[in-house]
């Protein structure tokens, strides 16, 4: 296994695989999996212990599943670079002055933290080269943009990112790296960041002023801007919209394409797995299965057959060596498709069935102002001591918060901090809706499903 890959070598590997048959891609996947397992058990004390007794040529199903709790408990033994210590990395990622810096030669990031303490993850240059090639060739260089006229070189494109600008999250770190690259050639004015919690009227103003060629964003951010475009307050004509980090339903994709008059791309990615799947012109999410293994599974980690909704997925990142992610369970729900896609790509595709949040809208000056669900969920993450939170728009227009405080924190104090925070968000958008705090339990579906944002019926 080549420990280091230049960008040119990674580009060629991705390019060569794109035209391969499904059978050859599966063979390539197994070869890389066995190489990764061999490297992990030779360099990671955790995997050496976990894979004791595993054959030298294991099949995928022979390899034990890894859980987040195991990896966080054994962080120092998990990493293959023995100079890396979890305590040092934790200190590094809690200091936002380090956002644009590398950690001992690696890119450091964390998961969003919505399921508890954020998972710390390092990515090596090998991962960066491979997943950079996947982005440039299959996402931005894929069939979705082949017929788009007027596309420029990447450095000459005016790109607006509407994302969270808080913490060591992959999207924000990517923005910071891109900004530094453009700054080095005097092109930094071609990149604009609009934090996702920016008031709607300010988003409209900044977008109209910037006139982006492309927008990188969460789907919910563009859905909140769609009424502004339809009403004529937003006067932009992007060449394409690139979505990630949230579920993008086909109905939403079609709505955004019709409203903004351009292709809408979708990227299923995770901090642990990297660039997992990307959309084609048919709207199907094709798995980059030459470099990422996706296994739909039930609640007991048994395989879910094609066409059936999974309870979760096991992810294997075949590119990253410093912190191997092998059969790692994510809670994302998918439906696997083995049948050929009309786009002609030989990679299998999946349907994502994640949590579908409602976009809450509030009345002001005779029109409805939408607030992205992401804004509310990020507010909960910002408040110290806040665990899970649910935001309910009442029939009278008020916004009700139901929440749980983390162990050791006083519920009333944490709740009041969250209520005040959201009240300021509401008022910054020119709204007068009252924000209230309730001690009632979370509202769940008959199947026990939890949604962060919903409307009272």
In this prediction, residue 373 carries a pLDDT of 82
3-state DSSP assignment of residue 54: coil
Q: Which tens digit of pLDDT belongs to each residue from 301-314?
A: 999 999 999 999 99
DSSP string, 351-409: EE-------EEEEETTEEEEE-HHHHHHHHHHSTTEEEEEEEE-TTS-EEEEEEEPTTS
3-state DSSP assignment of residue 349: strand
CA quadruple 321, 78, 121, 112: dihedral sign: positive
> How confident is the model over 214-223, as a mean pLDDT?
90
> How confident is the model over 72-79, as a mean pLDDT?
95
**pTM score, whole prediction:** 0.81
Beta bridge partners of 268: 277
Confidence of residue 44 (pLDDT cuts 50, 70, 90): very high
The answer to whether the CB of 342 falls within 8 A of the CB of 282 is: yes
Dihedral angle computed from the Cα positions of residues 340, 341, 345 and 349, in that order, rounded to the nearest 10 degrees: -90
The answer to whether the CB of 246 falls within 8 A of the CB of 255 is: no
> How confident is the model over 319-340, as a mean pLDDT?
94
Question: What's the CATH number for 7-131+286-349?
Answer: 3.40.50.12780
CATH architecture of the domain 149-262 equals 3-Layer(aba) Sandwich (3.40)
Residue 130 CA to residue 141 CA, distance in Å, equals 15
Q: Say if residue 115's pLDDT is above 50.
A: no
Q: What is the mean pLDDT of the chain?
A: 90
Q: Which tens digit of pLDDT belongs to each residue from 366-384?
A: 778 888 887 887 777 778 8
Domain-by-domain residue ranges, the chain?
7-131+286-349, 149-262, 360-455
Q: Which tens digit of pLDDT belongs to each residue from 127-183?
A: 999 999 999 999 999 889 988 998 988 889 999 999 988 778 888 888 998 999 999
CA 257-259-263 angle, 5° bins: 20
Fold match, 7-131+286-349 / 360-455: no
Question: What's the CATH number for 360-455?
Answer: 3.30.300.30
Phi and psi torsions of 236, nearest 5°: -130, 160
CB atoms within 10 A of CB 381: 16
């Amino acid at each position: 296994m080549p420990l280091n890959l230049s960008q040119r070598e990674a580009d060629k590997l991705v390019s060569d695989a794109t035209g391969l048959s499904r059978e050859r891609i599966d063979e390539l996947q197994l070869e890389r999996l066995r190489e990764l397992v061999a490297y992990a058990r030779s360099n990671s004390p955790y995997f050496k212990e976990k894979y004791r007794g595993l054959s030298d040529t294991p099949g995928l199903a022979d390899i034990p599943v890894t859980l987040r709790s195991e990896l966080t408990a054994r962080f120092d033994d998990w990493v293959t670079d023995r100079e890396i210590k979890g305590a040092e990395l934790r200190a590094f990622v809690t200091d936002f002055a380090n956002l644009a810096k590398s950690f001992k030669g690696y890119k450091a990031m964390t998961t969003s933290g919505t399921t508890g303490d954020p998972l710390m993850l390092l990515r090596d240059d090998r991962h960066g080269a491979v997943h950079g090639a996947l982005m440039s060739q299959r996402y931005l260089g894929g069939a979705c943009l082949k017929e788009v006229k007027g596309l420029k070189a990447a450095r000459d494109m005016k790109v607006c990112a509407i994302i969270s600008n808080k913490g060591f999250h992959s999207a924000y770190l990517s923005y910071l790296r891109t900004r530094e690259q453009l700054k080095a050639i005097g092109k930094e004015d071609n990149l604009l960041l609009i934090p996702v919690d920016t008031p709607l009227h300010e988003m409209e103003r900044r977008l109209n002023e910037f006139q982006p060629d492309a927008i990188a964003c969460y789907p919910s951010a563009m859905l909140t801007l769609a009424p502004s475009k339809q009403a004529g307050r937003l006067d932009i004509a992007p060449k394409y919209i690139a979505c990630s980090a949230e579920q993008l339903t086909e109905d939403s994709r079609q709505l955004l394409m019709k409203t903004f008059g351009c292709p809408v791309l979708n990227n299923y990615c995770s901090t642990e797995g990297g660039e997992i799947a990307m959309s084609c012109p048919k709207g199907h999410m094709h798995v980059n299965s030459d470099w990422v293994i996706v296994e739909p599974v039930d609640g007991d980690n048994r395989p879910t057959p094609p066409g059936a909704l999974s309870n979760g997925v096991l992810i294997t990142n075949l590119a990253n060596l410093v912190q191997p992610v092998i059969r790692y369970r994510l809670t994302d729900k998918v439906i696997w498709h083995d049948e050929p896609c009309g786009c002609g790509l030989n990679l299998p595709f999946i349907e994502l069935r994640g949590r579908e949040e409602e976009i809450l809208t509030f009345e002001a000056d005779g029109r409805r102002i939408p607030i992205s669900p992401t804004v509310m969920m990020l507010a909960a993450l910002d408040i110290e001591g806040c665990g899970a939170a649910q935001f309910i728009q009442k029939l009278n227009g008020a916004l009700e918060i139901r929440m749980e405080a983390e162990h050791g924190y006083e519920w009333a104090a944490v709740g009041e901090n969250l209520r005040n925070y959201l009240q300021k968000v509401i008022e910054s958008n020119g709204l007068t809706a009252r924000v209230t705090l309730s001690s009632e339990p979370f509202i769940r579906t008959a199947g026990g499903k939890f949604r962060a944002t919903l409307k009272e019926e």
